[in-house]
A and B are shown apart, each in its own frame.
Chain A
Amino acid sequence: MALSAISRSIFPTLETIVGSAGCSSLARYAPAAALLLKQTGVNPETPVALPDSPALLAEVMRCAHQNRWRVLPAGCGSKLGWGSLPSDADLLVSTARLDRLIEHAAGDLTVTAEAGIRFVTLQAQLAKANQFLALDPAYPEQASLGGILSTADSGPLRHRYGGVRDMCLGIGVVRADGKPVKAGGRVVKNVAGYDLMKLFTGAYGTLGIVSQLTFRLHPLPEAWRTVVLSPQLPQALSRAAAALRASALTPLAVEVADESTFVGLGLHNQPGLLVRFGGSEASVREQSAQLLALAPGLGTHILEGEADKKLWEQLRTQFWQSASPEAVICKLGVPPARVVAALGCARERGARLCLRSGSGVGLVRWERVDTATVEALRHFCRAEGGYLTVLEAPSALKVAIDVWDIAPGAAALMARIRRRFDPEQIFACRPFGPG
């Protein structure tokens, strides 16, 4: 496929703004994503602008706005293929070089950083003060902070600490017209003005490019310990999950997972619960003891220290290893009490699954699946008042299905918001909403 005339003409203009170091192509910048996006007609040679200051980011966007270029916002490119696939982008604007840590206010338990900072880099800095950003996203080595916000990508730690939306205190955004704006602030409590942080969380870059973020931090737990519960029967799993939900224990994470996930973790071959505690040594010891008392007669396994850490890394890679381009990974949600039922429904359909037992949010993965099967699981989630969103999947499947699963009434309102924020449709290359 030929590079569009616009894209070709963009390179020289970009170079005058961001210099040659700030210019790249999709193929060079994110090879894996380039392959995927090629399927929906995005040329691998599409230019990528990598401004290294907020001012340059704004200038790139002003230029794009003036020229009515269609912009695909990006961070470090790890999740470009999530959700509905973009088509016809004239250029990508990436925040990968906007990666400064602006302020780690340890005494205030907050951090302010530019959007392109990589998650692992940030965590390493914060750990020096015994603090952390309590998120466990996909692809932590590649993922940028801005990308995590834009995809609302939380993990098992959501159980105790909440999602991305609950931790973001302030944002800086460059709008479609190139104007830099902000919302929220740098303090942990603030109700001045609309909470635009929420609007941009999970907006997939359809409303503007997030350039700077402030997050709430938490003290790093002194000790971690995971208890693995493996009941013989599904009813026992249900009971154990319910007993744990109803208890006064305060785990950091409670995941319900199917047997293939457990096999992949090198544990048993039946569905079970992974319960992670964190805090003082005394607390984790007491909590795990109380948990064992709560679920007598279940097979148990306890992991501490490195083994604990490794287990949760393995769980993540089970879902996010992209060995097969045929794999389909979806985010789903059901009410907490229906988590075990959702597990059953997914297993019957050949998927592996892990769900946060406290919130009912989780992931499902098929190595290969047809549209009807995905629709069937979605049907189950919807009937329970939940949803199923396709994150990674072959483009053929994404074309055949409503990727997002946004409720119709709210979707109309969202479409109006999008039009208002981006009347010239600068960010229109990523479809958002039903159909």
Chain B
Amino acid sequence: MPTLAKRNWRAIAQQMEQIVGKSGVVWTPEELLVFECDGLASYKQRPALAVLPRTTEEASRVLALCYREGLPFVARGSGTGLSGGALPVEGCVLVVTARMNRILAIDLDNHQVVVQPGVINNWVTQAVSGAGFYYAPDPSSQSICSIGGNVAENSGGVHCLKYGVTTNHVLGLKLVLPDGEIVDVGGPVPESPGYDLAGVFVGSEGTLGIAAEITLRLLRSAESIRVLLADFATVEAAGSAVTAIIAAGIVPGGMEIMDNLSINAVEDVVATECYPRDAGAILLVEVDGLAVEVEATSTQVEALCREAGARAVRSATDPAERLKLWKGRKAAFAAMGRRAPNYYVQDGVIPRTKLQCVLQQIELLSKKHGYPVANVFHAGDGNLHPLILYDGRIAGELEKVEILGGEILKLCVAVGGSISGEHGIGAEKRCYMSDMFTPADLETMQWVRAVFDPKGLANPTKLFPTPRTCGEAARAESEARFAAVERF
């Protein structure tokens, strides 16, 4: 195998053009620049080529070519991931699925759709909402994140408390394996015999191949939906309301908390004018079901919030009003762009009963390290998103912030939680995998990988820790991003 630098990229690009057409291959260094990072912009690596197939067959031929040439490849959907899952690796082919954006079949009788990976999450709901259906997983980026990316990361969202995450809604996959072979796993009926390979593939972060056709389960829209917005003097009080709601045997569609810093950031940009700027925290609770149930449950939730010290509780059933209450939450991360030049978002999970204690610890860590931390989280399932604000233009800041982020993750693991609830491990958290898993655990996972991808070409260096990918080695990699660009 020739070394990376000496590859004849021109010939490879031409072969790729044979497969996907001229417009489907990006090869000039200045154009490739825009592919050097995904939603996690602090890690950068320019790919050698970007290729945009349109069909399963084209994707298969692209991967077969990579396999023949021994080229690593990285799949990318909309590039909104927050763990660097679509971060290119040096000398890789970036396989962009944005042109695989067709809904292939809608089967309302069986409550399912078949889509290409580049289809945007909320296009699925748009396509079926007229008939009274929806696709449940709803990441905050649902207006732009792709289903293929959701499958890779096993994305969650604000409504996964009751309805589950992506894996609970994927019935079948047509996979393109790293050697180009096309295999169907799962199917239109759940629980098909044999190993649940569709289940293993979901959340594998692009390390097992590319899902070229995805069969999704649809849900029937609820008869009635109500969103409650409770405003609390402290985050702790909001947290205790969450505990009380769960203890009462209520599982709402979603339960979200935003702290004071996030409330104000959102109000600055999105100006929902529904989040009180002086609140210590707000709790958003969505209750759905039959009208009579929603009525009763909302009354109960409201009472529990007031008992926990809510200063005010307002609610909305009208779709536009509900959207407005959610809008700020969905824009919460990006709104931080106005508060600081950069933010570093974490995705730790803790048992929800440990919420108050962990939040206090995070505050202590924030003070100790001297960076403000805004908290936005899926309180119902204990998935925290601490946003560390910093200025990346100052040399050395990112490194310090990463240390703080690491301490937060270790805290999550220490209380029995996880280092990622929905963003994935990607390039960013691979070094913390060893805090959660033993070498034998990781070796077992690698066995699966070796079966799907014996040459290790699919998104190499992601998800699993290697000495080279941790800490300084990873940054050295990203700083060298312009060293090897002029290959043409």
A touches B in complex, CB < 8 A:
yes
Q: Which residues of A pack against B, CB within 8 Å?
A: 105-110, 130, 152, 154, 162-163, 165-166, 173, 175, 179-183, 185-199, 201-203, 207, 218-220, 222, 242, 245-250, 279-280, 282-283, 286-287, 290, 331, 333-337, 358-361, 385-387, 389, 404-407, 409-414, 416-417, 420-421, 432-433
Q: Most B CB atoms within 10 A — which of A190, A196, A405?
A: A190
Residue in A219, A246, A413 whose CB lies within 8 Å of B251: A219
Q: Which residues of B pack against A, CB within 8 Å?
A: 107, 109-111, 132, 153-154, 156, 160, 164-165, 167-168, 182-185, 187-200, 202-204, 220-223, 243, 246-247, 249-251, 289-290, 292-293, 296, 349-353, 378, 381-383, 416-425, 429, 433, 436-438, 440-445, 447-452, 463
Q: For B200, what are the chain A residues with a Cβ–Cβ distance below 8 Å?
A: 194-196, 198-199
Min Cβ gap A63→B in Å is 18
A165-B445 in contact given A191-B422, A336-B109 (Cβ < 8 Å): no
Q: For B198, what are the chain A residues with a Cβ–Cβ distance below 8 Å?
A: 198
Report whether A192 and B296 are in contact in the complex, using a CB–CB cutoff of 8 Å.
no
Min Cβ gap A17→B in Å is 20
Q: For B251, what are the chain A residues with a Cβ–Cβ distance below 8 Å?
A: 109, 218-219
Bound Cα distance A195, B419 (Å): 14
Besides the known contacts A107-B352, A207-B195, 12 further A-B residue pairs in the complex with CB atoms under 8 A apart: A181-B443, A185-B349, A189-B160, A191-B418, A198-B199, A199-B199, A218-B251, A280-B293, A283-B293, A286-B290, A409-B184, A417-B447
Interchain Cβ contacts under 8 Å between A and B, 12 examples? A186-B351, A186-B416, A190-B417, A193-B436, A193-B437, A219-B250, A280-B293, A286-B290, A335-B189, A414-B195, A417-B447, A432-B194
Min Cβ gap A304→B in Å is 18
Report whether A105 and B289 are in contact in the complex, using a CB–CB cutoff of 8 Å.
no
Q: Most B CB atoms within 10 A — which of A107, A189, A411?
A: A189
Residue in B381, B433, B440, B463 whose CB lies within 8 Å of A179: B440
Bound Cα distance A413, B251 (Å): 38
Bound Cα distance A247, B381 (Å): 28
Tell me the number of A-to-B contacts counted with CB atoms below 8 Å.
269
Min Cβ gap A201→B in Å is 6
Report whether A279 and B353 are in contact in the complex, using a CB–CB cutoff of 8 Å.
no
Q: For B383, what are the chain A residues with a Cβ–Cβ distance below 8 Å?
A: 189
Min Cβ gap A423→B in Å is 10
Q: For A198, what are the chain B residues with a Cβ–Cβ distance below 8 Å?
A: 167, 195-196, 198-200, 202
Residue in B165, B352, B378, B448 whose CB lies within 8 Å of A108: B352
A248-B223 in contact given A195-B154, A336-B111 (Cβ < 8 Å): yes
Bound Cα distance A120, B156 (Å): 32
Bound Cα distance A410, B187 (Å): 11
Q: For A202, what are the chain B residues with a Cβ–Cβ distance below 8 Å?
A: 191, 193-196
Q: For A420, what are the chain B residues with a Cβ–Cβ distance below 8 Å?
A: 447-448, 450-451
A190-B421 in contact given A336-B111, A361-B191, A410-B194 (Cβ < 8 Å): yes
Report whether B110 and A336 are in contact in the complex, using a CB–CB cutoff of 8 Å.
yes
| A108 nearest CB neighbor, chain B only | B351
Q: For B463, what are the chain A residues with a Cβ–Cβ distance below 8 Å?
A: 193
Report whether A182 and B183 are in contact in the complex, using a CB–CB cutoff of 8 Å.
no
Q: For A180, what are the chain B residues with a Cβ–Cβ distance below 8 Å?
A: 440
Min Cβ gap A55→B in Å is 15
Q: For B183, what are the chain A residues with a Cβ–Cβ distance below 8 Å?
A: 409-410, 412-413
Report whether B441 and A193 are in contact in the complex, using a CB–CB cutoff of 8 Å.
yes
Report whether A192 and B436 are in contact in the complex, using a CB–CB cutoff of 8 Å.
yes
Report whether B195 and A189 are in contact in the complex, using a CB–CB cutoff of 8 Å.
no
Report whether B444 and A191 are in contact in the complex, using a CB–CB cutoff of 8 Å.
no
Report whether A189 and B223 are in contact in the complex, using a CB–CB cutoff of 8 Å.
no
Report whether A290 and B290 are in contact in the complex, using a CB–CB cutoff of 8 Å.
yes
Bound Cα distance A358, B220 (Å): 11
